[in-house]
Structure formats: C-alpha cells, structure tokens
Amino acid sequence: MEKYRLIKEIGDGTCGVVYKALDLQTNDVVAIKKMKRKYFFWEDCMNLREVKALRRLDHCNIVKLKEIVRENNELFIIFEYMECNLYEVMRERVTVFSEEEIRNLMSQMLQGLSYMHKNGFFHRDLKPENLLVTNGIIKIADFGLVRETMSKPPYTDYVSTRWYRAPEVLLQSSSYTSAIDMWAVGAILAELFTLSPLFPGESETDQLHKICAVLGTPDGSIWPEGMNFLRANHFNFFQFPPANIADIIPNASSEAIDLILQLCSWDPLRRPTAEQSLQHPFFHVKTWVPYPLKDPYYPRLNQTVSGATPKLELNLWDFGAEPDDSFLGLTLAVKPSVSDLDSKNRVSGQPQEELLFCSGFQGQCAQSFFWPLISPDRNAMNNAQVNPPVSSSYLTSSQAIQPSIGIPESSGYSFPQLQPKMFDFGSLLNISSPLQQRTFFD
C-alpha cells in the first residue's frame, strides 16, 4: 500500500471504511475501501461476492474495480474515485430536479442495472447513497450484498436500507429475485421528484404501513403469493385504499407516475425488468418518428414547382415474408408536384389522364401495375387499362378496398370507383424482405 497516500476518510460502513487517496505512481485520485475483518488467505479475498462481481462486471455505469491488495492480513479494495453520491446531490439541491435531469440519471442507472442482471447478479442494496455521481455520470457502487441470480435460496431477509426494501423482503421471503432491485428503482425515481423518500418507515411494520398508505392494501387478485407470506407470518395488512400518487408527486408527468407504479407493484412478477423499463414512454416522451418514411422520389423544396397542383401519393406496406405475418396497409397523402421525376413514371399516349405507377417489386421487376387517376369531369372506368387482371382472394374483410376513395375537389383529382376485384396482391406475399415499402405516385 506504499504506492497510495491516504487523503481523507469519506465513508464508514458495516464492512469497511472508505478513503480518498492518491496513486503516487499515476497521480490518479482513487477510492480505497479498507475491510474491517481480517483475511488470512488470498482465496478468501477472491471469494468475496463483491470482488467476484466487480471482477466480472465492466460497464460505464458500474463503479470500476482497479486493484485488490492484501497486506498484513488486511484487505484493501481500490476503486475509481467519484465525487459524491446521489443522496448528497439531492440533499444539496435548492430546487427540484427537472424531468429531463431525472430521465438522464435514471436511464444511466437502469443501463448499469440491466447489464448487471444480464450478467447474473442482482444488487440487493440499491439506494441513493450507493449511486455515485461525477459530472452528471452516475455509477452503481457498494456490492457488499450482491448475489448471483442463479444462486439457490434461501436468501437473508436483511438486505437494502428499509426505505427501499421490497415488500416480499419485509415479509421475510427467502426466495426473492432481482425484482427487489426494481422496487428500489421505483422508490428512488419517486424520491428524485420530491427530494424526500416515498416510503420512510421507522420500522419494518411501519414500512409496510407506509407502503399500504400509498399503494393501497393488496389482496389475492393483486398479489396472490403475498397472501401466503401474510399467513406464514400471522400478519394483517393495514386497510387502505390506494392514494392518488399524482397528489404525492405533483411535479411528475403521467409517464413518470405510471413507471413508478409499475416498478412499485406489490407483485414482483408484475414489475418490469431494467431493460423493459428503459423502453417505457417516460424515457421516450420527446422521441418523434416521422411517418411516412422518407421517399426517395420526394422532391426537395427548391425543386418544387411553385403553385403547381398537388399530387397524390399512395404507400403500400407489406410486413413479413411469412403468410401469417403479412398484411396489407394503405396510406394516402397529398404532396407537392414533382418536377423532375423520371419519364418512365408516366405513361405516354394519354395526355389528359394521370396514372398511378407502381415500380417493380424485388424479384418481380417485369411487372407494373397502373391505376387511373383522372379529373372529376371525366369517366375513367371506360378508358382505364388495368394490368394485370386481379382478384380479391388475398384481401380479408378488414383489408378489402373500399368502394370509393376520394380527396377534396380542390386538389383537382379524384379516384374512380375501385372494386376489390381490381387488385390482386397475392404475388406480394413472395417478397423476400421482411419489411418492404412500396410507393405509388403519379
């Protein structure tokens, strides 16, 4: 340990004391955890769950293990140094976090937790004090109570700080899962909005009382297995209706409240995983996906003819190569006139009649399909040529083409009466790509 110079003590826990120190060889600031018990064999050091987990876990949102030193039967675990923990950040806040700040912190924590669960460990002691923060980067730390997800029960019921302890642990279940981490995530998410704990129980009984006051008293339909825990412990739940959590967390969005309620479900089987939580709308409230997707033939603004009559665009989508996965979807949109389309997209010999043109599909480039698109004062049904003749055997009742499709008269165009038998999309099922966009335009 002569290569390190201790600077100051920054934490004192059950298992060890943490110091801020300087690596004299690299001039890096590090955190050194000095374990309180003695270790007489190196194998005992390597078999520590915290050491085994951190040696296997390498993620940007999990604190990095740098070195392990055993000296004079004392064990020192050297970590990267982080400036503070999330509890200290919340304690020093003058105003509440914005939802964007909360979203950033929570997404980082869930990414680290998802990685941990996928690699076979669950933390069992998630709380703001064990989430380290530096320059907006959050990392999960303190793996003293970590367990492998494949390890066999029974597990100890003394895990996690009481305020973040899942109800199945409070009821002394010995076969809990990584879902207890997700309960803690929900409690931490709520605390980030209010800067105060959601379930601040003073004892295990009071902790259950606080949970019932917020979530309401569970029954057999909400948490079937929990009723068995109650009977085994001769415990009666406090009778409460569920509170309106929007009143408890008034500055949270509806998406945030929904995620909190899912994570803090009585039944651990109903809690989303870390990976599923990252897909929740709370983390995607500002995500915008344009629809329809960009068309390669869509003109740039400077290529559009000013004052030109709008044209019609018809998009056909075929999802999946398997028949059971395929269905037909049609979208219709008005778009500006295209001035530079290739001449092959128009049919010569019919100067007064506009035609919708379908370019060839993959593997079927020799086939083209045409639908007439004419002015309102003309009858296209007598003149239009439809190639090839088709049947409606592919279309289901919910997918059949409606008898007529129209657009406002101001556009200058209207669709003729289209009968289901005009279309034969049976050949489209042979498309090899699982997702193909087909664009029809004039």
pLDDT tens digits for 306-353? 555 555 555 555 444 555 544 455 555 554 444 444 444 444 444 444
Q: Give the three-class secondary structure for 330.
A: strand
Helix (H) or strand (E) holding 247: helix 245-248
Question: Is the Cα torsion angle 230, 235, 239, 245 positive or negative in sign?
Answer: negative
Residue 61: count other Cβ atoms within 10 Å of its Cβ: 20
CA distance 199 to 435: 48
147-148 and 354-358 strand pairing: unpaired
CA distance 346 to 442: 7
Identify the pLDDT of residue 429.
42
CA distances (Å), origin 39, targets 45, 52, 73, 272, 383: 7, 16, 5, 39, 94
Strands annotated E in 336-368: 354-358
Identify the pLDDT of residue 442.
39
- What domains, with CATH codes, occur in the chain? 4-80 (3.30.200.20), 85-284 (1.10.510.10), 301-441 (no CATH)
Using CB atoms within 10 Å of the CB of residue 106, give its burial: 0 to 12 exposed, 13 to 18 middle, 19+ buried: buried
Identify the pLDDT of residue 352.
45
CA distance 337 to 299: 8
CA distance 369 to 356: 8
CA distance 106 to 186: 10
Give 287-303 pLDDT, tens digit per residue. Answer: 554 444 444 444 554 54
Buried b (16+ CB within 10 A) or exposed e, 89-101: bbeeeeeebebee
Identify the pLDDT of residue 140.
97
CA distance 110 to 271: 14
Identify the pLDDT of residue 186.
98
Give Dmax (Cα) for the chain. 100
CA distance 44 to 238: 45
Identify the pLDDT of residue 398.
39
From first CA to last CA, the distance across the chain in angstroms is 78
Among this protein's residues, is 142 annotated catalytic?
A: no
Identify the pLDDT of residue 355.
44
Question: Is the Cα torsion angle 298, 299, 300, 301 positive or negative in sign?
Answer: negative
| pTM for the predicted model, two decimal places | 0.64
Strands annotated E in 164-233: none
User: Exactly one of 125, 142, 181, 442 is catalytic; which is it?
Assistant: 125
Residue ranges in the chain modelled with pLDDT below 50:
157, 289-298, 301, 303-305, 318-320, 325-327, 335-442
Q: How far is CA 118 from the centre of its chain?
A: 15
Identify the pLDDT of residue 236.
78
